Amino acid sequence: MNVKNKITKASALRNTEAVIQAANNRFTFKVEGEGTYVWTEGTKDYCKKLPVLSYEMVVSGNNSFWVIKTLDGNTLVVDCIEYTMPYYMRARTTKAKVGDYKIPHLCFGYFDMSSKNAAKSVKEDLEELAEIKDSYYYWRADLVTLINKLQGE
Domain range summary for the chain, segments of one domain joined by +: 3-115
Closest CA to 25 of 81, 85, 78, 76: 81
- Residues forming a β-bridge with 75: 69
Helix count and strand count (H, E) for the chain: 5, 6
pTM: 0.76
- Average pLDDT on 42-68 reads 86
What is residue 54's predicted lDDT score, i.e. its pLDDT?
93
pLDDT digits (tens, 9 = 90+) for 81-120: 888 888 777 776 677 777 888 889 888 788 888 776 776 7
**CA–CA dist 20, 92 (Å, integer):** 6
